Amino acid sequence: MTTQAELLDTLRQITGAPHVLYDGDLSAYTQDWRKRAQGKALAVVRPASVQEVADIVKACAAAGTSLVPQGGNTGLAVGSVPDESGRQVVLSLQRMNAVRAIDAANLTITVESGCILQNLQQTAEKAGFLFPLSLAAEGSCTIGGNLATNAGGTQVLRYGNARDLCLGLEVVNAQGEIWHGLSGLRKDNTGYDLRDLFVGSEGTLGIITAATLKLYPQPAARLTAWAGLPSMEAAVTLLGLAHQHLGAGLTGFEVMGQFALSLVDKHFPQLRVPFIEASATNASQAGSNGSNAPAVGSVAMPYCVLLENSDSESEAHARERFEQLLETAFDQGCVLDAVVAENLSQAKALWHIRESIPLAQAEEGLNVKHDISIAVSRIPEFVEVTDALLRQRIDGVRLVNFGHLGDGNLHYNVQAPEGGDAKAFLHDHEDEVNTLVYDSVARFDGSISAEHGVGSLKTDKLPLYKSAVALSMMHAIKKGLDPQNIMNPGRIVKL
């Protein structure tokens, strides 16, 4: 049996001593982004090549030591940090960040998994292409983490999620073998799709060390609009109109409840949120179906929508199509007021408001977060029913509702009553709120994790909301590929 000291020695031989960290402040690797979990690692290992990753996995397997793969540690499901035992090794991919190749004719880019998403976007842009995956954590998350969580973000409507953008993978499996699957083929029906198995597996089946990804032509113009709406139903109607008018040009459709926006207004007043009253924070607990909703002037606008139109012809063409869409929407009463960004910096400012909602919410205090998906057509009813249930159950509860409506994905979060003690609220109500929301999601045939994954946060919930047959197949896959249970154990499924 290998001792811990012997394992550390072997790891140092593989990567060089400076890349095996085990003392000093390791919290950047052991604490999750939302500070919900603080683990303890035997060591943090930072390999520089796929061969080093393979050797590390073999050494850990021989020692019976489990591994937690980690990219940028921005995951929101507590899947990238070690447990509290002090016996797990964190395998950080940060040093493996090279761009290996761009194939312009095949429209692909091959990168190592530790490549920061923003660097990948910029590299593609310099080569004259678009890599469309985009999310608020793009300055620090890695493509390996994006693929391992099958990240979504703001462009899914047009380009799909991380899975849809991936054509091939290089993976080190739980036995320390290297699977070279970076072919970049768009068609390959030679049996089970291993790529799709590893995408979204959250480090529980193997370690993604590189990926071949799709590139797209850069759009000729991108326009952003912000619209004030009378209801969630109106948002769904507007989405349908946007599909009709903009076709494949519709690249973003984000919905934001007034209370979510009022928190941005309250905590980041310099951002100047359109169509909001300064008093909206206090008035915010209106029904999200529009009754008693905060008003701008005398008109109630309980929801705002951020739309993005990417046009392959010209900015003038994009503007014309946007104007036609908004005119139709005004005529049908689903848009009450709208602004179209005049230039890139105005567009960025509007997106910045949307991206600031999670931070504003954090400033307001601890809250219970949900990342759910429901068929778009059923979202208005889901929100109405679930809002009412929560309000009946907890007096004064505040609902922060925003998300990627175009993908049927809501961040449906629950905040303590105004002035209440957020910690005590979580202690008293977190389980109750989760059960109420997830039961409601289940009644609407939705998913309890649309894009953040399962991690440790939802592992215990999965058996309650996933079919027994699906779970049993997932267990079989985990046992088959990782019989020793050394790859991020306890996440997604427990063996």
Q: What residues make contact with ligand FAD under the rule CB under 6 A? A: 33, 68-76, 79-80, 93, 113, 135-137, 141-142, 144-146, 148-149, 151-153, 202-203, 207-208, 358, 451-452, 455, 488, 491
- Least distance from C-beta 323 to ligand FAD, angstroms? 29
- Least distance from C-beta 150 to ligand FAD, angstroms? 7
Of 138 and 233, nearer to ligand FAD (C-beta) is 138
- Least distance from C-beta 7 to ligand FAD, angstroms? 20
Of 116 and 286, nearer to ligand FAD (C-beta) is 116
Of 200 and 290, nearer to ligand FAD (C-beta) is 200
Of 228 and 455, nearer to ligand FAD (C-beta) is 455
Of 209 and 288, nearer to ligand FAD (C-beta) is 209
- Least distance from C-beta 141 to ligand FAD, angstroms? 3
Of 39 and 230, nearer to ligand FAD (C-beta) is 39
- Least distance from C-beta 314 to ligand FAD, angstroms? 29
- Least distance from C-beta 18 to ligand FAD, angstroms? 21
- Least distance from C-beta 264 to ligand FAD, angstroms? 14
Of 326 and 487, nearer to ligand FAD (C-beta) is 487
108 close to 120: Cβ distance less than 8 angstroms: no
- Least distance from C-beta 1 to ligand FAD, angstroms? 26
Of 261 and 335, nearer to ligand FAD (C-beta) is 261
- Least distance from C-beta 79 to ligand FAD, angstroms? 3
Cβ neighbours around 42 below 10 Å, total: 22
Residue nearest to ligand FAD (CB): 145
Three-class SS of the chain: CCCHHHHHHHHHHHHCHHHEECCCCCHHHHECCCCCCECCEEEEECCCCHHHHHHHHHHHHHHCCCEEEECCCCCCCCCCCCCCCCCEEEEECCCCCCEEEEECCCCEEEEECCCEHHHHHHHHHHCCEECCCECCCCCCCEHHHHHHCCCCECCHHHHCCHHHHEEEEEEEECCCCEEEECCCCCCCCCCCCHHHHHCCCCCCCEEEEEEEEECEECCCEEEEEEEEECCHHHHHHHHHHHHHHHHHHEEEEEEEEHHHHHHHHHHCHHHCCCCCCCCHHHHCCCCCCCCCCCEECCEECCEEEEEEEEECCCHHHHHHHHHHHHHHHHHCCCCCEEEECCCHHHHHHHHHHHHCHHHHHHHHCCEECCEEECCHHHHHHHHHHHHHHHHHHCCCCEEEEEEEHHHCEEEEEEECCCCCCHHHHHHHHHHHHHHHHHHHHHHCCCECECCCCCCCCCCCCHHHHCCHHHHHHHHHHHHHHCCCCCECCCCCCCC
Of 258 and 488, nearer to ligand FAD (C-beta) is 488
